[in-house]
Amino acid sequence: MKKLLILLLFSFLFQSCFSYKTVNFNDIKNEKKQKYEVLKLDKTNIKGRLVSIDENVMILENRNGNQTINENEIYDVKVRKFSILKLATGIVGTYGAFVVIGILALAGFAL
C-alpha cells in the first residue's frame, strides 16, 4: 500500500504544467523565446526555442546548437503553451496526496 501511495505522489509531483498546441507553419509568429516541437517527415522530433523564421525555413535553438528546418521537411509543428488548468490540477493533487498520506500515517501510528 505504501508503494502505491508513493507512486501516486510522484506522479502528481512530476506532472507538467505545459501543453503543446498544433499550429500551421504560416501562422507562426516570430516571437523569440517561444518553444516549439517540430515533427519532421522522417519522424524525428526537434524541440527548441525559436531563433528566426521566414517563409521557407525555421531555426530552433536547443542543446545541440541551432537546428535549421526547411518547410518541406516538416510534418507537424506544435507550440508550447502554459496551462493553468494543469498547474491547478497538479497543486491540488499533490496537496491531496500529502493529506491522504498524512492521514494514513496517523492511522498507522494509532493502531
Q: Flag whether the pTM goes above 0.85.
A: no
Angle at alpha carbon of residue 14, lines to 8 and 15, rounded to 5°: 90
The domain spans of the chain are 1-17+83-111, 19-82
Mean pLDDT of the chain: 79
> What is the C-alpha separation between 60 and 37, in angstroms, rounded?
9
58 in Cβ contact with 40 (< 8 Å): no
Residues 53, 27, 49, 71, CA torsion sign: negative
Write out pLDDT tens, residues 13-67: 555 667 778 888 888 877 767 888 999 999 899 999 999 888 889 999 999 899 9
What CATH topology corresponds to 19-82? SH3 type barrels. (2.30.30)
- Report d(CA 68, CA 52) in Å as an integer: 10
Q: What is the pLDDT of residue 38?
A: 92
Compare 50 and 1 and report the one with higher pLDDT.
50
